[in-house]
Amino acid sequence: MNPRRPTRQITVGNARTGIVRIGGDAPIAVQTMTAGYTHDIDSTVAEIERYREAGADVVRVAVPERKDTEALQEILAQTRVPIVADVHFHYKRALEAIEAGVHKIRLNPGNISDREQVNAVIDACKERGIPIRIGVNEGSIIERKDKQRRAEELGMYFEGHRSGHLLALMIAKLEEYLDIFDARGFHDVAISAKSMDASLVIDAYTEISRRFDYPLHLGVTHAGPRSTGAIRSVVALGTLIANGIGDTIRISYASDHIDEVKDGLEMLYSLGKRTRKGAELIACPTCGRIQVDLFSLVQDVEKLLAKEIELPIKVAVMGCVVNGPGEAEGADVAVFAGDRRGIIYVQGEKVANVAETEILPRLLAECRQFQDRVRRGEARLGEKKVDIVPPDPIGELGSGIDKIKAGLVEKVTVGHSG
């Protein structure tokens, strides 16, 4: 992992919503965008609140029509997270959103390029002290008729890159747009340069990070449904963040946007870039040694932990004791399953040996009790390692090493090798 690239810092929000810092030494912020019509106030407020509860630091709303900016004042009064107005084509929507009290504006240089119009937005933001994100998208960087000519002119610059001309265009467009902001003495700016191509996203942000010190908003646009979008987004954003690039992220899915927030946070937790809120679940993938319905157990544990545990307790659900103890090392609470049974450990101490049907309630009860002890100062997270040294409690589980070695493990209908 490379050290974080130094950038300027912007702030979004106010005392009511809480102030989110983006850039500099601030934690990488997670954003999402509402999917419904902004002028439908009740459902927009409900949507924003869902995302806030899931952990979104900032939420963006589209304001394509006057009725959308008219709804903003009421939406802002009812929500408790900084709101960004996403403006395309009509600079007046930006002015209306600023007037309504929005906390940040996103402008697209590809479709609002008239200098006087941009100046009007810059001046209004300056007066209110709110930042602007300059959001370049691969798909809207320049008018079609110009694109080919500019591509040819600039393509040489990134010769050898399979999307060199696009990269050159995105950077040229950004430089051109930033000149307007510079001339106005406005530096309360964040930048994004999104594409649906993960490798282009990595190259574009890498290049931009060398040229500008504004905070970077990372994203793979139109990444598709979660099944593929998650891979594209995490590959591109994870690579950049590991290289020290990126100050805020938005993962985009063609599905419930709550998953954008959850997956963005999980990516940042995995990279050690945010402090985890809630339990961390480790689970084995199962193999031919499995003797309980582990997949269902893991799903149930995940759901209940999300509901009931607020501290970052590490919980391990392991299918057996062969690799389980090593893999669960560092877990605060762990279960190792055996022949339709499970042995539960809390920070290295065996606390129960229960039948399969009792694993879930007992594991949850132990997690709750452990959380209470941590809150009372009687235990510390991650303090003791799970420590099961063979010969193990295997005999108790009815699937001891000897039995496993002898190939006598009974098969169950769930689980698979791999």
Site residues (vs ligand SF4, CB under 6 A): 284-287, 289-290, 318-320, 322-324
CA-to-CA dists, residue 244 to 28, 83, 210, 339, angstroms? 11, 26, 12, 46
Helix (DSSP H) and strand (DSSP E) numbers for the chain = 14, 15
Looking from the CA of 183 toward its CB, the CA atoms found within 13 Å total 10
Nearer to ligand SF4, 38 or 286 (CB): 286
Which two three-digit tokens encode residue 79? 């929500």
> Using CA atoms, how far apart are residues 51 and 31, in angstroms rounded to an integer?
9
Residue 289 CB, nearest approach to ligand SF4 (Å): 4
* Rounded least distance, CB 290 to ligand SF4, Å: 5
DSSP 253-275: -SS-THHHHHHHHHHHHHTT-S-
CA distances for 101 relative to 69, 132, 311, angstroms: 10, 14, 35
In the complex, minimum distance from the CB of residue 270 to ligand SF4, in angstroms, rounded to a whole number: 20
For residue 138, the minimal CB distance to ligand SF4 (Å) is: 41
The minimum distance between CB 329 and ligand SF4, in angstroms, equals 12
According to DSSP, the β-strands at 20-23 and 9-12 are antiparallel
Minimum distance of ligand SF4 from residue 364's CB (angstroms) = 21
Q: Which is nearer to ligand SF4, 203 or 392 (CB)?
A: 392
Q: Between 365 and 412, whose beta carbon lies closer to ligand SF4?
A: 412
In the complex with ligand SF4, which residue's Cβ is closer, 31 or 291?
A: 291
Is the CB of 353 or the CB of 369 nearer to ligand SF4?
353
CA distance 223 to 221: 5
287/365 with CB nearer ligand SF4 = 287
Please, which residue, 232 or 403, has the CB nearer to ligand SF4? 403
Residue 338 CB, shortest distance to ligand SF4, in Å, is 10
Nearer to ligand SF4, 95 or 318 (CB): 318
Minimum CB separation from ligand SF4 for residue 264, in Å?
28
Type of residue found at 105: I
Cβ pair 310, 360 in contact under 8 A:
no
Residue 386: which residues within 8 A CB-CB, separation 6 or more?
A: 316, 325, 328, 329, 330, 331, 334, 345, 347, 348
Tell me which residue has its CB nearest to ligand SF4.
Answer: 319
Q: Which residues contact 146 (CB under 8 A, 6 or more apart)?
A: none
The span from the CA of 241 to the CA of 247, in Å, is: 8
DSSP state, residue 381: T
